[in-house]
Amino acid sequence: MFMSCGGSEERVLPKIGVISSGRGENLRHILKAVQSGYLKARVVIVLANQPDAGALQIAREYGVASEFIDPAGSSRQEYDQILLERLGIANVDLVVLTGYMRLLSPAFISRYKNRILNIHPALLPSFKGVDAFSQALQYGVCWTGTTIHIVDEDMDSGPIVYQVPVPVRPDDTRETLKARIQRTEYRAYPRAIKMFLEGRPRLEGRRLLIDRPDTVL
């Protein structure tokens, strides 16, 4: 999917751009997976819309280029155009969202169509939007979990790449359930990215099928 043209046998690693609003712990685990060789890819840029986003500090710890881009005074389209310019300069192949709290514009999604991944703390299509932990508790489900999906024009609605269930315990609070789901996320996101990059992702309707190639990146 991300192989270069030409006759060179040199392995070309896909370039990942990360966009974040928050703590960035999923980014840390993605970078650990890259560092260990589990993920055959490079994180080349981290962008954030909050000046104190933990993802910026984590990127600096790992020597990854990072930048806070202030959304103040910009429309969604104008802001996304700035993001696209930064990602384009970095020659990004795949965009990964980690706790990014803004909806991407249609122009952004079109530019990276089927190459934007997001993680959501529930088993989609259940409990879309904010505070999925409280939603699950209020609904009284026995299971929730985490979902990695392709981003499309609607909120938390794109084709599903990978899901991991998490049990809801009778004595769970919002915080205990959140902590357990987040621990699951740290393993699930690198695995989903690996599946996506090393396979041949194709869509049949809403269903994402990932074929394993004869040789992987």
C-alpha span between 3 and 68 (Å, rounded): 30
The answer to whether residue 29 is catalytic is: no
C-alpha span between 159 and 125 (Å, rounded): 10
DSSP states of 41-69: SEEEEEEESSTT-HHHHHHHHTT--EEE-
C-alpha span between 217 and 201 (Å, rounded): 14
Catalytic position from the list 111, 120, 149, 194: 120
Mapping DSSP to helix (H, G, I), strand (E, B) and coil, where does residue 90 land? coil
C-alpha span between 177 and 195 (Å, rounded): 26
Looking up tokens 């996101």, which residue turns up? Answer: 189
* Termini Cα distance of the chain: 9
Exposure of 199 by Cβ count < 10 A (0-12 exposed, 13-18 middle, 19+ buried)? middle
CA R_g for the chain: 17
Catalytic positions are 120
